[in-house]
Structure 1
Amino acid sequence: MMKFKQLRWTMLVLFIAGVTLNYVTRNTLGVLAPELKQIFNISTQEYSWIVASFQFAYTIAQPFCGWILDYIGLKIGFLFFALIWAIVCMLHPLATSWVGLAVLRFFMGGTEAVATPANVKILTDWFPAKERAVAAGWSGVGFSFGAMLAPPLVVAIHLNFGWQAAFFVTGLMGLLWAGIWKFYYYHPSEHPMISSEEKAYILGDRTGKQEKLKMNLWDSFKSICRVKKFYGIAIPAFLAEPSWQTFSFFVPLYLATERGMNLKEIAMFAWLPFLAADIGSALSGYLAKGYMKHFHFSNNNATIWSSVSGAFLMISLAMVPFVDSPYAVIALISIGGFGHAIISAMLGVLIMENFESDRVASVNGLRGFSAWTSGFLFSLLIGVVVPKSGYLPIFVSMGFFDLIGAVFMIGFIYDRSKKIIQG
């Protein structure tokens, strides 16, 4: 069989494609929200419950998904969850009320939760430590590219074939990707297409490390939660997530109700913050390398400073309520998307820097649990606050959350031992 010299990047592209479809399917609802609210006579508060249903399932499932991936491996674990989320997406046309949508979103959230822990798992499996920051930046592109692709793709399908087709087609795309993953993805130690040189390069710094977790679910979680550095990751993740959830689920609604944009205008502009996030994610690893080169920081500390840089960019969100032009709104939210993507990618690198390879998916699952807990609560808060006070307090608070998270990151992780934590 043909051998590839850079197979690790091919596997990363395959994963990015899956995450892209993961985000296309989840963001289909957000893009169609103005239309579905009218079709089903859904109030803003009821819509917040639909979003919260997805978020609640996504939140509680992430630690479990992470443990599954560590325990049975990425290939089978990711395939199992991908098949389910694709099928559930295809079932959305059967919904007849907001309650039906909420039930479907719950099951979809519980299976799409695998994306976050899988991201760190593939980076740890396929890349040596010195390449992970850059690879993490590129892998994060899938998370924002799917959100960027969703508005024009979903609107195009909707306008030509109806809202039901938008859910069915995007779900079918996920199903087709799952088949490709089944046949082409393997761990580097057993991939039939990997060259011996690349295998040695990838696995050369892992002597004595486990590749699969041997602990049960509860013992694994307890060992992680005893590590102080975990909170330097979990707390910033908690404070960072509300902005991303708002971009995904509420910005199209905000542009329609507060800025007077119609569905076609939303399709034209709502993807720009996610394009900015793609760029921010791709550049984040190079930014960390720049800090290492010019300031002689360790990989750990350079990663932190890259994340802090993203936190300062998030201040742009606090300015959104104070500008009149909807195009200025898009620009400010796009700067926030750029900054958030930097933070998100670098949090994943910090996990790989500070935890054993046999538990990175579990740690990232718990990090995701922390993040999505705040996203879930913040969505409920939006449903209560916006009808009474508008979006001003929402955007202002999001502008400063990440700077607070940066303080915790520096306090718990910065300038400490770079040895792998055993837990």
Structure 2
Amino acid sequence: MKIKGLRWWIVGLIMLGTIFNYLARSSLSVAAPTLTEKLQLTTQQYSYVVAAFQAAYTVMQPIAGLILDWVGLKIGFALFAVGWAVANMLHGFSTSWQSLAVFRGLLGLTEAAIFPAGMKTISQWFPARERSVATGWLNSGTSVGSMLAPPLVVFCIITFNWQTAFAVTGAIALIWVALWLAFYHAPKDHPNLSEQERHLILDGQEASKQETGARPSWRHILGERRFWGIGIPRLLAEPAWQTFSFWIPLYLVSVRHMDLKEIAMFGWLPFLAADLGCVVGGYLAPYFMKRFKVSLITSRKLVVVTGALLMVGPACIGLAESPYTAIALFCVGGFAHQAISGALFTLASDVFGQHEVATATGLTGMLGWIGGLSFSLVVGALATTIGYNPLFFCLLVFDLLGAVIVWRMVAGEPAAEGDIGRHAEPAEA
């Protein structure tokens, strides 16, 4: 049976995997106030646990991308998903910050495949003009997963214990693995893909981006100026998301004096706003193309600029007297960051071929997580001395600088939609 609009069902399947991925990783931040009490963790020790995940995730992203480009999406992604489900459940056996850090590192190693796999799927399944929208929906899974974590984790902790919270948020990913293995196939092999949609996908892709069978090369990708034009802005943007994901609950408890139930009620709102940023950011690029008659690549860069300007929201959190105003400003930051993130992910699928897009996404992701890891350690070291407010202001500065870099270093405007990326020229010095 042929399924109409099958490509959107495929991105929905990837989005569901992203939700479960981020539900697992966000469980720690929600449980952090409980863990700091039960395991007697200091803020510094908690930052080391966070860093263990970030370091493992950082190192593994390009390796995961390379594995996915070599062995293929279906089996490779399923193995990574089983790995992160098991790793998250193991958190319940932690007895100290050291053992928690070990299990957190295992989670980072296995969860690192999510975006290399997602962008490889979008590169294969979507014509160029639809990629930003598809990426927006894919990226929205990060926010939905983070949004679901506070009420679910708090419910498990209050009803059962903190160990149950990690068991539940990990095991649920196994449901997705079964769905993935049952329903995913590449476009050329999918029995439910109509010929009309197959032609729409292939005709809308760049000739230079068709799957060639060639093996990706780290050396070639790292030698591309456009890679650094995407990678450096990701390094500068990721600290914002790492801060929102890992530090909001502790900030609300230690600075705004909210309790666990209030976090369950309000802690998910920044991630709902981030969800909107994913979707709206995805539609902004085609809007800019239509409204301002700009090319596809320029439209992506305009989305990055728009998001960077909106990061003034979290920069002003220190001026907020009410904790609810602070949460509202976190919401602005979540919206802004996810718009930036989606545009940078899509740019990678625009300028790299299908045989190397997972590897390129993994490498840019590694740079992003180097930025996130470094900044989390800074937060852990300085939050109790200089406070959070100067650190939140840094997030605005980082993204404004990233917007300048992506504008200058990612060049190459397509002569026509079906020719995107084929005639890319180096940016002027």
- Is TM more than 0.5 here? yes
Closer, same or farther: CA 222–229 of 1 in aligned 2, 3 Å: same
Q: Which range is displaced more, 154-163 or 43-52?
A: 154-163
Cα deviations across residues 60-105 of structure 1 (Å, max 9, x unaligned)? 0000111111111111111110001001111111111111100000
**2:215 and 2:356 in contact (8 A); partners too:** no
**1:235 and 1:405 in contact (8 A); partners too:** yes
Query: Partner of 1:124 in structure 2?
Result: 123
Query: Partner of 2:215 in structure 1?
Result: 215
Query: Partner of 1:57 in structure 2?
Result: 56
2:418 matches 1:419: no
Amino acid in structure 2 at the alignment position of 1:252: P
Closer, same or farther: CA 231–122 of 1 in aligned 2, 3 Å: same
Q: Give 3-state SS (helix, strand or coil) of 1:3's partner.
A: coil
Query: Partner of 1:357 in structure 2?
Result: 354
- Offset, 1:138: 1.2
- Offset, 1:415: 5.8
Q: Which range is displaced more, 235-244 or 352-361?
A: 352-361
Cα deviations across residues 308-348 of structure 1 (Å, max 9, x unaligned)? 10010011111111211000000001000000000000001
Task: Measure, in 2, the Cα distance between the counterparts of 1:166 and 1:124.
Answer: 35
**1:30 and 1:248 in contact (8 A); partners too:** yes
Task: Measure, in 1, the Cα distance between the counterparts of 2:238 and 2:268.
Answer: 18
Query: Partner of 2:20 in structure 1?
Result: 21
Amino acid in structure 2 at the alignment position of 1:183: A
Query: Partner of 2:304 in structure 1?
Result: 307
Query: Partner of 2:45 in structure 1?
Result: 46
Query: Partner of 1:406 in structure 2?
Result: 403
2:181 matches 1:182: yes
Query: Partner of 2:326 in structure 1?
Result: 329
**2:129 and 2:286 in contact (8 A); partners too:** no
Once the two structures are superposed, the pairs formed by residues 199-348 of structure 1 within 5 Å of their partners are 199-204=198-203, 205=205, 207=207, 209-211=209-211, 214-215=214-215, 220-348=217-345
**1:133 and 1:349 in contact (8 A); partners too:** yes
Cα deviations across residues 287-306 of structure 1 (Å, max 9, x unaligned)? 11111111100011011101
**2:313 and 2:332 in contact (8 A); partners too:** yes
- Offset, 1:197: 1.6
Task: Measure, in 1, the Cα distance between the counterparts of 2:126 and 2:225.
Answer: 26
Query: Partner of 1:37 in structure 2?
Result: 36
Q: TM-score if structure 1 supplies the norm length?
A: 0.96
- Offset, 1:178: 0.8
Instruction: Give the CA RMSD over aligned residues.
Output: 1.6
**2:274 and 2:334 in contact (8 A); partners too:** yes
Cα deviations across residues 156-180 of structure 1 (Å, max 9, x unaligned)? 1221121111111111101121111
Amino acid in structure 2 at the alignment position of 1:346: A
**1:71 and 1:214 in contact (8 A); partners too:** no
**1:224 and 1:230 in contact (8 A); partners too:** yes
**1:147 and 1:274 in contact (8 A); partners too:** yes
Query: Partner of 2:95 in structure 1?
Result: 96
Task: Measure, in 1, the Cα distance between the counterparts of 2:296 and 2:413.
Answer: 12
Unaligned runs of 5+ in 2: 415-419
Query: Partner of 1:83 in structure 2?
Result: 82
Identity of matched residues, %: 46
Q: Which range is displaced more, 205-214 or 401-410?
A: 205-214
Q: Give 3-state SS (helix, strand or coil) of 1:52's partner.
A: helix
Task: Measure, in 2, the Cα distance between the counterparts of 1:85 and 1:391.
Answer: 31
Q: Give 3-state SS (helix, strand or coil) of 1:36's partner.
A: helix
- Offset, 1:213: 5.1
Task: Measure, in 1, the Cα distance between the counterparts of 2:369 and 2:318.
Answer: 25
Amino acid in structure 2 at the alignment position of 1:6: G
**1:71 and 1:213 in contact (8 A); partners too:** no
- Offset, 1:377: 0.7
Query: Partner of 1:391 in structure 2?
Result: 388
Q: TM-score if structure 2 supplies the norm length?
A: 0.95
Amino acid in structure 2 at the alignment position of 1:242: P
Task: Measure, in 2, the Cα distance between the counterparts of 1:152 and 1:357.
Answer: 38
Amino acid in structure 2 at the alignment position of 1:404: L
Amino acid in structure 1 at the alignment position of 2:152: L
Cα deviations across residues 187-224 of structure 1 (Å, max 9, x unaligned)? 111012211221222123455755265336xxx11100
Cα deviations across residues 122-163 of structure 1 (Å, max 9, x unaligned)? 111111111111111111110111011111111112211211
Amino acid in structure 2 at the alignment position of 1:38: E
Q: Give 3-state SS (helix, strand or coil) of 1:356's partner.
A: coil
Q: How many residues align?
A: 419
**1:71 and 1:212 in contact (8 A); partners too:** no
Unaligned runs of 5+ in 1: none
Q: Give 3-state SS (helix, strand or coil) of 1:399's partner.
A: helix
Query: Partner of 1:153 in structure 2?
Result: 152
**1:70 and 1:213 in contact (8 A); partners too:** no
Q: Which range is displaced more, 42-51 or 180-189?
A: 180-189
Task: Measure, in 1, the Cα distance between the counterparts of 2:14 and 2:99.
Answer: 31
